[in-house]
Structure 1
Amino acid sequence: MTNAPDGPLLLGVDGGTEGVRVGLFDPSGTALAVARRPYPTRFPRSGWAEQKPEHWWLGLSAGVQEVLAVSGVAPSRVAGIATAATSFTMVCVGDDDRPLRPALMWMDSRASAEAAEIGATRSPALRYTGGDQASAEWMLGKAMWLKRHEPATFEATTWLADYAEWIAFQLTGERAASEDSAAIRCYYDRLRGGWPVDLWDAVGVPELRAKVPQRVVPMGEVVGQLTATAAAELGLPAGIPVAGGGADAFVAMLGLGVTGPGSLAMVTGSSHVHMLQTPVPRYTKGLFGSYTDAVLPGQFTIEGGQITTGAMVAWYVRSLAGQDAGPAELAALYRRLNEDAAALPPGSEGVVALDYLQGNRTPHIDPSARGMIWGLSLSHGPHHIYRALVESVCFGTENIIRTMRQAGNAVDEIVACGGALNSPLWLQAHADVAGLPIRTTAQPDVAVLGAAVLAAAGAGLYPSTAEASRAMVRPGRVVEPDAAATEAYRPWVDLYTESYAAMRPLLHRATALAAGA
């Protein structure tokens, strides 16, 4: 399909960790304009992270107005809208449809005790997390924490919405759950009765029956139409169909063109997410999934992930530069660290790091783990630590790939996007450590493009999201691994994996002491 001069256009929205992106695309996947708007995050305590939903909407509104102004197109050409966002970033919505408190972000691990209780139930729903473990990032643990520590807020909450669901409501006035968010973060499974009410009862939150919508919308199906109120704020005509969205990484699979088995979608940014599509479910300890219908109907999605990757590297660089450093100073420091680190051999001359600053998502599912840098001597400088942090992310990805293969899944290539692609050092290290080619796509904002793919399906421009993805995604470059580097990295990957096992009891003790303080 090609876009006529006066043809339909699609708005894709990606509500990320550090800000929102809005993209305007034609039906071939060509971007006419992309806007970015940052918003702040609060970290009140170790492992906690919060944002205000009001900031999301302000950024989205400004972003839509900017892409319309930059592209110069008539707003009437917008034929569909869809949203990707971080998940599970929990919004407590009250009777008046307003947030009752700041949202608990996806990376918020305050519910580690509640996650342990969920795991102890050995509920059949826990097949998604290995059978006897649960993640503090998911909705249920956060809901339990809210009921225990902020009971008045929990009682007043009429809807525990995910970020993408809340934005869809702002656009349409319709309260609906995203099937993607429900499947990947709420133990929802259409093939097994839907919501896990038995698990809710077992952990003492039967109230959730009244705090989640009964309407569950697959990605790409229409949630509702743009209301007159939202249209006036965005500068668009009312009545535009708004398609169901979901978690940014899973929407990004469509923006990467990963719609079948064998290709590992790797979404990099503040965190890393690794996803495979399979025709049959494989429930594996140390991985999340297989999620039913999370991305495409009739398929199952397996997930691995690292909580702090780009966020960890950014934290280190900001710490070196100082909190008052401006963008130019930070950019210069990044360049210097990348250049100096690139001259080092694999293994950063003996410095090893663990990328668990907010806990470990997979394969340990350990919210009480924390980061670590070891092997330091007086011969090491900031660039050694920088490279060790970058390598730790690559080692964590390799550990996840090994777990996927042990479960019988083929991983033949990596299709990647996000911030790590901006660093040749980081991208090549990923290819070398994994020993796999890494393929990229022409459009770097793949979650925004994935949302536009959903919008195109919802607008009826393509018969399915899979066909929309195949039509709208174009290939980029391929990075091949260096066989000698792959061999050199192997003992360092082993040190990385063994260091967690050796330090786990001490990491847990330190986390408990910090929480008590």
Structure 2
Amino acid sequence: MNYLLGVDVGTSSTKSVLLAESGEVVAIGQKAYDFDTPHPGWAEQDPEVWWDAAKDTIQQVLHISQVNPKHIRGIGFSGQMHGPVFLDRAGNSLRPAIIWADQRSAQECQKIYEIVGKEGLYRTVCNPVDSGFMAATLLWIKTHEPETYKQIQTLLLPKDYVKYRLTEALVTDPSDAGGTSLYDVRNLRWSTEMTEWLALSEEMFPEVKNAIDVVGTVSPKAARETGLAAGTPVVNGGNDQTMGALASGAVKEGPVMLVIGTGGTLFTTVDSVVVDQELRMHTYPHCVPNKWHLLGAILAGGFCFKWFRNVLSPTQPYSYEEMTQEAAKIAPGAEGAIFLPYLAGERTPHMDSFARGVMFGVTVRHTRAHLIRAIMEGVVFAMRDCLEIFKQLQVIPEKIFASGGGSLNPTWRQIQADILGLPLITIQTPEKSATGAAMIAGIGTSIFSSFDEACQRSVSLGEEICPIAEHTTRYEGYYQFYRSLYPKLQESFVEVFQLTSR
């Protein structure tokens, strides 16, 4: 039996999945960690934490499965997007990686818009710039840590750093490069115009190869550290969204993939480059050659749920199941309590690092259960914002493939179907991004003959949840009111930021 290994370098954990060529997941390893916040709004991770977690989880799956490492025919990678790892000439990390959740570079974002403008971004990289993206982070490093900037030899994305430690290859793929706001996603190359406008050295950027390309093999040193067989082929892989889409079967036009995890994303495949001229969402290359994907992203999805749980019960356990059981007793609309889930700023559609969370319309009638329900609905209203932009771009979804923590609970699943107004199908494929990474390894090493064969063997679909017409109608009014709140509060968000920054 042949096996494939997928490694997903996430924000809160690294996961490894061992996949049999039959498509069955035979072992899963996971190691959790946190990110550091040395200052308010900062988010950093030591790349060594990722490598240690990758080694640990690979050893876990080898131990659990008792598979001979020589029977692993390929290894693929998935990972969190946007945040650069800074390597010196010796290949050592110069400082902690500044990850996607970091908000320190708001001024640098403004500077980029002043230099390049929306039209320039639309024409060159097809995407907005936000805090936590490589473009803005590099400018921040150049201004605030010039000595570090001078020593940078190579920039990598998180998954690519772990891949580098495994193979010594300095390479990324189009889907991850697209998330830097420095990559021309139409022509699949680093944007010379952007690097010239921002006075950045293009020599820092790694070579870009296709997601399905074999980019190296496990080095003898890495084999000793992980337990893998030296010489095992390593396939490039892609960002966690494309790998999750692959493991969900969302590799063709039509379905939309909804993931509510720490943040939240809405993903759909397109056969040609579709770009929002207002730059409210992202257009990135897919892991499937000659395809792209549209991505709407919110910064706080399930994180809102976790935050509120910790507020309610900082010392004693209060389970998510208990919370959702309470919310299930409340009618749609939470009796007028409306939650804006902007706890960490917001991306789609506002691209506003100053945005803040709001619980609006609370009265003495509202209970804890109402507020829990309002948070669940507010997160899905934010995802509806993304869906509306898809429709404006003439990308009309047929159904929703749902995954992430938000798909595990029946109450939240029904809220999603009702607010989005589409049938929702749960994806039962375990650990989708890591499984997708294993699938891409199988495609790249010809264990699977095609993307279709990989999906047929590996993707597992669950139940279909249909929207309840009465709920959908009720939610429409609440959603329109939800949409009206941000424009009224936008200036207030900046004012409160200035107050707290004094």
TM-score by length of 1: 0.93
Equivalent in 313, 330, 333 of residue 321 of structure 1: 313
Equivalent in 343, 348, 365 of residue 329 of structure 2: 343
Q: Please give the alpha-carbon distance, in whole angstroms, between the structure 1 residues aligned to 2:367 and 2:293.
A: 41
Aligned: 1:507 with 2:467: no
Corresponding residue of 1:36: 30
Corresponding residue of 1:63: 57
Deviation of the 1:435 alpha carbon: 0.8
Letter in 2 for 1:298: N
SS at match of 2:23: coil
Q: Please give the alpha-carbon distance, in whole angstroms, between the structure 2 residues aligned to 1:463 and 1:119.
A: 44
2:128–2:282: 8 Å Cα contact kept in structure 1? no
Aligned: 1:250 with 2:242: yes
1:115–1:133: 8 Å Cα contact kept in structure 2? no
Bigger shift: residues 482-491 or 39-48: 39-48
Deviation of the 1:252 alpha carbon: 0.6
1:431–1:480: 8 Å Cα contact kept in structure 2? yes
Letter in 1 for 2:487: A
Q: Deviations over 1:93-128 (max 9, x none)?
A: 122222121111111122112112222312665228
Instruction: Say if 1:125 and 1:220 are closer, same or farther in 2 by CA, change over 3 A.
Output: farther
Corresponding residue of 1:151: 146
Equivalent in 279, 290, 293 of residue 271 of structure 2: 279
Aligned residues: 500
SS at match of 1:411: coil
Q: Please give the alpha-carbon distance, in whole angstroms, between the structure 2 residues aligned to 1:466 and 1:171.
A: 28
Q: Deviations over 1:243-297 (max 9, x none)?
A: 1122111211101001111111112210111111112222112443433x43211
2:402–2:426: 8 Å Cα contact kept in structure 1? yes
Equivalent in 43, 49, 65 of residue 49 of structure 1: 43
SS at match of 1:305: strand
Equivalent in 436, 439, 451 of residue 437 of structure 2: 451
Deviation of the 1:466 alpha carbon: 4.7
Corresponding residue of 2:291: 299
SS at match of 1:12: strand
1:129–1:288: 8 Å Cα contact kept in structure 2? no
Q: Please give the alpha-carbon distance, in whole angstroms, between the structure 1 residues aligned to 2:140 and 2:466.
A: 45
1:275–1:303: 8 Å Cα contact kept in structure 2? yes
Instruction: Say if 1:67 and 1:232 are closer, same or farther in 2 by CA, change over 3 A.
Output: same
Q: Please give the alpha-carbon distance, in whole angstroms, between the structure 2 residues aligned to 1:164 and 1:469.
A: 22
Instruction: Say if 1:377 and 1:289 are closer, same or farther in 2 by CA, change over 3 A.
Output: closer
1:418–1:444: 8 Å Cα contact kept in structure 2? no
Q: Please give the alpha-carbon distance, in whole angstroms, between the structure 2 residues aligned to 1:439 and 1:396.
A: 19
Aligned: 1:211 with 2:197: no
Instruction: Say if 1:243 and 1:146 are closer, same or farther in 2 by CA, change over 3 A.
Output: same
Corresponding residue of 1:4: none
2:176–2:239: 8 Å Cα contact kept in structure 1? yes
Instruction: Say if 1:463 and 1:189 are closer, same or farther in 2 by CA, change over 3 A.
Output: farther
TM-score by length of 2: 0.95
Corresponding residue of 1:227: 219
Q: Deviations over 1:132-172 (max 9, x none)?
A: 95222321011111111111111112112110111110110
SS at match of 1:11: strand
Q: Please give the alpha-carbon distance, in whole angstroms, between the structure 1 residues aligned to 2:248 and 2:427.
A: 6
Corresponding residue of 1:290: 283
Letter in 2 for 1:434: L
Q: Which residues of structure 2 form unaligned runs of 5+?
A: none
Deviation of the 1:335 alpha carbon: 2.3
User: After the TM superposition, which residues 54-453 of structure 1 pair with which residues of structure 2 at under 5 Å, given as runs?
Assistant: 54-120=48-114, 121-122=116-117, 126-127=121-122, 133-189=128-184, 191-192=186-187, 194-203=189-198, 205-207=199-201, 209-213=202-206, 215-284=207-276, 285-291=278-284, 293-322=285-314, 324-325=315-316, 329-331=317-319, 334-453=320-439
2:128–2:281: 8 Å Cα contact kept in structure 1? no
Corresponding residue of 1:3: none
Instruction: Say if 1:137 and 1:162 are closer, same or farther in 2 by CA, change over 3 A.
Output: same
1:168–1:223: 8 Å Cα contact kept in structure 2? no
Deviation of the 1:447 alpha carbon: 0.8
Letter in 1 for 2:469: A
